Amino acid sequence: MRELAAGIVIIGNEILSGKTVDTNSPFLARELRQLGVTLKRIAVIPDELEVIAETVRDFHRRFDLVFTSGGVGPTHDDVTIEGVARALGRRVIVHPQLEEKIREYLNGRPANAAHLKMAEVPEGAELLVDERLRFPTIKVENIYVLPGIPEILQQKFFALKDRFVADPYYLKVIYTNEVESTIAQYLHDTLREYPALLLGSYPKVGDAEYRVKVTLESKDRSYVERAFAFLLARLPQGSVVRTEG
Could you tell me which residue, 36 or 111, shows the higher pLDDT? 36
pLDDT at residue 105 is higher than 90: no
Q: What is the mean pLDDT of residues 132-138?
A: 91
**From CA 9, how far away is CA 96, in angstroms rounded?**
27
The model's pTM: 0.92
Q: How far is CA 48 from CA 38, 53, 61, 110, 123, in A?
A: 28, 9, 20, 30, 20
Residue 29 C-alpha from the chain's centroid: 4
Q: Where are the beta strands (DSSP E) in the chain?
A: 5-11, 38-45, 65-69, 92-94, 120-122, 126-128, 137-140, 143-146, 170-176, 198-203, 212-218, 240-244
Q: Which residues pair with 8 in a beta bridge?
A: 42, 67
What structural domains and CATH numbers belong to the chain?
A: 5-164 (3.40.980.10), 170-244 (3.30.70.2860)
pLDDT at residue 80 is higher than 90: yes
pLDDT in tens, 196-243: 999 999 999 999 999 999 999 999 999 999 999 999 999 999 999 999
pLDDT in tens, 158-171: 999 999 999 999 99
